[in-house]
Chain A
C-alpha cells in the first residue's frame, strides 16, 4: 500500500491511478481520466469508489456539475514545470467550492508542496523525493503576501 501525504501527514492510501482513457478498470478504487469518466459515468459508479483526474490541458470547467459527485479529484502534472494545475486547484476550490480531497499526481516535486497547498491541494502522491524529508517543505514560509485557501485575507489586509 503506497504512502501519500494528506493534510501534511503521511498516511496509507488505497487509491490507484488508471491512465487508460478507453478501457474500464474491473474494480472500483481508481482515479480515472476525465474522458473515461465522461463517457462511462454509470458503469464507473457501478464499480464502486471512483475518482477522476484532470490532465494538464483539462480545466475543471470540463467537469462542471459532476464536481459535487467526487470525494477525491486529482490533477496530473506531466512535468513539474507545467504549472497549469496550480490554477486548476484554485479554480476548483474558489469558483466551484469543491470541498473534497484534492490530490496532486505525476511529476511535481517536493519544492512545490508549499505553493500547491496554497492553491488548494491537500493530498500529494509524491513519487520523486523522500516523502518523510519532504514534509519540511510545507513549512518553507510562515507568511505570504497573497490570499489562499487557508488564509482568505491577503497580507495587506492583516498588516
Chain B
C-alpha cells in the first residue's frame, strides 16, 4: 500500500490547516455561503436534507486495518456510530457537524487519509478494480498508476474549478470491474504486441441525466505519456466545456457535441505542447510507485480443491461460490464481505463492524481491505485453508450474506431518506425487493443479475447500467419508479432500455417478479439475464409487466 513521505504528509497537513482557517472565516462571516461552497465541497463536505454529509476519500478503494479502526473511532466520536460505503469506493458520514470537520480531517491525517476533492467541480478520487493486484485475470496492477494520478490531480492548480466534476477510473484486468466506460476518463491497461504496458484511453463516459458510454481516443498510450495526455484532455475540457448549464457541463456533452474525432484532434494539439516535457513520467517514478505495491509475503501453498472444501456445509458452499473469487497466487482466495443485510441500507457499516473487519484483515491476510463500487468490502488475501473459519466469523458479523453478484447484491443510492435532490426513496425499494426474493435458491437459480437503484436522474445508484435499473421519478408530487432493463457495466457496457410507464412504490416488487418470470421462461440453458434480454429484446418483458 502507498505510504506517505514527508512531502505527502506536509501537503495534506497544510490542507487541514487551510480548511480550518476557511471554516473559521466562514463562521466569522468573512466568506459568503456561495464562496464557501466549493471550498467545503473540495474537502468532502456537502449539506443535505438532514445534516452536512462528509465524503472521505479511499484512493482506488484500498484501506488498511489502522485506517478502519480510525474510521470506527470517527463514526463514534463525530457521528452516529456508522458510515456508508459509496458507489465510488469512498466512505461517507451522514451526520458530522460543520465546526468539527477540521478535527475529523486532522484525525484522518494521522492514518494518511483525507477528504480532498471528494466532491465539487474538480478531479475526484480515482477509482480502480477492487481486485487490483490479486485478480487472477489481471494484466497489470492498476494501483501504482492510480497513485500517480492521485498525486498529479491533488491540488492541481489549473483544474480546481472545472465546468463540472471529473472522474477517472483505471482497470488492469481483462474483465472491467471499475466501470471505466462510465467515467469521464476510463483507462484500461493492456500489453501491446511486444508485451509493453500501454493504456487504452476512453473519454466522455458518464451516467447522470444523459448517460453516455465513453469513446476510445487513444489505442495505446505509453505510460511515460500518461500525465501529459491527461493534462491535455483536462485543458481542452476546462476551456471548452459548457459553463452556461450545469446539466450540460460534463465532458460527455462536449465530446458528443464536438464528435470524438474532433475532440481527440484538439487534445493532440494541446498535447503537442507538453508531450515529452517535465511532466513526462520517468522510469524511476513508475518504479517508485510500483515499489509500494509489491506482493506481500505469500506462503507457498498448494491449491485446495474447492469442491472438497464446499462439503463442510451447504451454507458455506453457497458463500464460497458467490462471495469468493480466484486469486492469482496458489492457495489463496479473494473474499467479498457483503454489506447487504436486509433491513440495513446497502453499503452501511457500523463502527463495530469496521473494527471487527480490521481484526479479520490482520488474522486472515496482511491487514489490507478493499472497498468496492458495489458497496461491499473485500479481504484480498485469504488462505484457502482458512476460508471455513473465516466464514463462521463473517456470519457472526452479518457480512456473509451469500449473495454477491446476485439479484440481492443491490446497488442503491441514499435516496429520499437522506438526499435533498431525490424524487423518491430508494432504500425502502431495495429492502422490499430483498424481502420479496428471500428464497435463496430462487435467487441462485436466477444467476448473475445486477439490480441498481437511484432516487433521481443524477444516477448515483448507477441505474442505467444495472441489468435491472430502477429510477425514482416524481409524478404529480407522488413517488414513482421507472424500470429499465438490459444495462450493463464492463467492456461491453450498455445502457438500459425503459420498460414503459412508471410504477407506484408498492407495485415495484411485483413488476420485478414479472420481469424475472419472463426471463426464466425465455432463457436458454446457462443463459444470463443480460444475454437473454439482448437476444429477445424488451417486448416480452413489456407484455408481461403491463399485462
Q: Which residues of A contact B (CB under 8 A)?
A: 56, 59, 80-84, 86-88, 90, 94-95, 109, 111-112, 114-116, 118-119, 128-130, 140-148, 152-157, 159
Assembly CA distance A18 to B158 (angstroms)? 27
User: When A145-B151, A157-B282 are in contact, do A87 and B7 touch as well, CB less than 8 Å?
Assistant: no
Offer 8 A-B interface pairs, CB within 8 angstroms, sorted by A: A81-B121, A84-B239, A111-B39, A140-B18, A141-B18, A144-B11, A144-B157, A157-B282
The answer on a CB contact under 8 Å between A156 and B288 is yes
In the assembled complex, B152 has its CB within 8 A of some CB on chain A: yes
Chain B residues, CB < 8 A from A155: 7, 151
* Extra A-B contacts (5), CB below 8 Å, given A115-B155, A156-B288: A80-B161, A86-B158, A119-B157, A146-B279, A148-B157
User: When A83-B159, A109-B35 are in contact, do A145 and B152 touch as well, CB less than 8 Å?
Assistant: yes
When the two chains form the complex, which single residue of A80, A94, A130, A156 contacts B273, counting CB atoms closer than 8 Å? A94
Looking at the assembled complex, report how far the CB atom of B420 sits from the nearest CB atom of chain A, in whole angstroms. 20
| Closest chain A residue to B237, Cβ basis | A87
When the two chains form the complex, which single residue of B39, B156, B273, B278 contacts A95, counting CB atoms closer than 8 Å? B273
Chain A residues, CB < 8 A from B162: 83
User: When A83-B159, A111-B22, A155-B7 are in contact, do A147 and B279 touch as well, CB less than 8 Å?
Assistant: yes
Q: Which residues of B contact A (CB under 8 A)?
A: 5, 7, 10-11, 14-15, 18, 22, 30-31, 35, 38-39, 121, 148, 151-152, 154-162, 235, 238-239, 243, 273-274, 278-279, 281-282, 285, 288
Assembly CA distance A134 to B18 (angstroms)? 12
The answer on a CB contact under 8 Å between B11 and A145 is yes
Chain A residues, CB < 8 A from B151: 145, 155-156
When the two chains form the complex, which single residue of A56, A86, A95 contacts B160, counting CB atoms closer than 8 Å? A86
Chain A residues, CB < 8 A from B285: 156-157
The answer on a CB contact under 8 Å between A87 and B238 is yes
Assembly CA distance A148 to B152 (angstroms)? 12
Looking at the assembled complex, report how far the CB atom of A70 sits from the nearest CB atom of chain B, in whole angstroms. 21
The answer on a CB contact under 8 Å between B235 and A87 is yes
User: When A83-B238, A157-B282 are in contact, do A119 and B155 touch as well, CB less than 8 Å?
Assistant: no
Lowest 4 CB-CB distances: which A-B pairs, in order? A83-B161, A118-B157, A115-B157, A156-B285
Looking at the assembled complex, report how far the CB atom of B283 sits from the nearest CB atom of chain A, in whole angstroms. 11
User: When A94-B273, A141-B155, A146-B156 are in contact, do A59 and B239 touch as well, CB less than 8 Å?
Assistant: yes
Assembly CA distance A82 to B161 (angstroms)? 6
| Closest chain B residue to A139, Cβ basis | B14
Looking at the assembled complex, report how far the CB atom of B145 sits from the nearest CB atom of chain A, in whole angstroms. 13
Chain B residues, CB < 8 A from A154: 152, 278-279
Chain B residues, CB < 8 A from A81: 38, 121, 161
Looking at the assembled complex, report how far the CB atom of A126 sits from the nearest CB atom of chain B, in whole angstroms. 13
Looking at the assembled complex, report how far the CB atom of A12 sits from the nearest CB atom of chain B, in whole angstroms. 25
Assembly CA distance A81 to B152 (angstroms)? 21
Looking at the assembled complex, report how far the CB atom of A119 sits from the nearest CB atom of chain B, in whole angstroms. 5
| Closest chain A residue to B241, Cβ basis | A84
The answer on a CB contact under 8 Å between B278 and A152 is yes
The answer on a CB contact under 8 Å between A114 and B157 is yes
User: When A144-B157, A156-B285 are in contact, do A84 and B238 touch as well, CB less than 8 Å?
Assistant: yes
The answer on a CB contact under 8 Å between A115 and B160 is yes
Looking at the assembled complex, report how far the CB atom of A121 sits from the nearest CB atom of chain B, in whole angstroms. 10
User: When A111-B39, A146-B152 are in contact, do A86 and B157 touch as well, CB less than 8 Å?
Assistant: yes
Assembly CA distance A146 to B151 (angstroms)? 8
| Closest chain B residue to A117, Cβ basis | B157
Which of A111, A140, A141, A157 has the most chain B CB atoms inside 10 A of its CB? A111
Chain B residues, CB < 8 A from A86: 157-161, 238
The answer on a CB contact under 8 Å between A146 and B239 is no
Assembly CA distance A58 to B466 (angstroms)? 42
Assembly CA distance A88 to B162 (angstroms)? 13
Looking at the assembled complex, report how far the CB atom of B276 sits from the nearest CB atom of chain A, in whole angstroms. 13
Looking at the assembled complex, report how far the CB atom of B83 sits from the nearest CB atom of chain A, in whole angstroms. 28
Chain A residues, CB < 8 A from B31: 109, 111
Assembly CA distance A144 to B161 (angstroms)? 17
Assembly CA distance A132 to B239 (angstroms)? 32
Assembly CA distance A157 to B152 (angstroms)? 13
Assembly CA distance A147 to B158 (angstroms)? 11
Assembly CA distance A80 to B38 (angstroms)? 10
Which of A87, A88, A95 has the most chain B CB atoms inside 10 A of its CB? A87
Looking at the assembled complex, report how far the CB atom of B121 sits from the nearest CB atom of chain A, in whole angstroms. 7
Looking at the assembled complex, report how far the CB atom of A32 sits from the nearest CB atom of chain B, in whole angstroms. 22
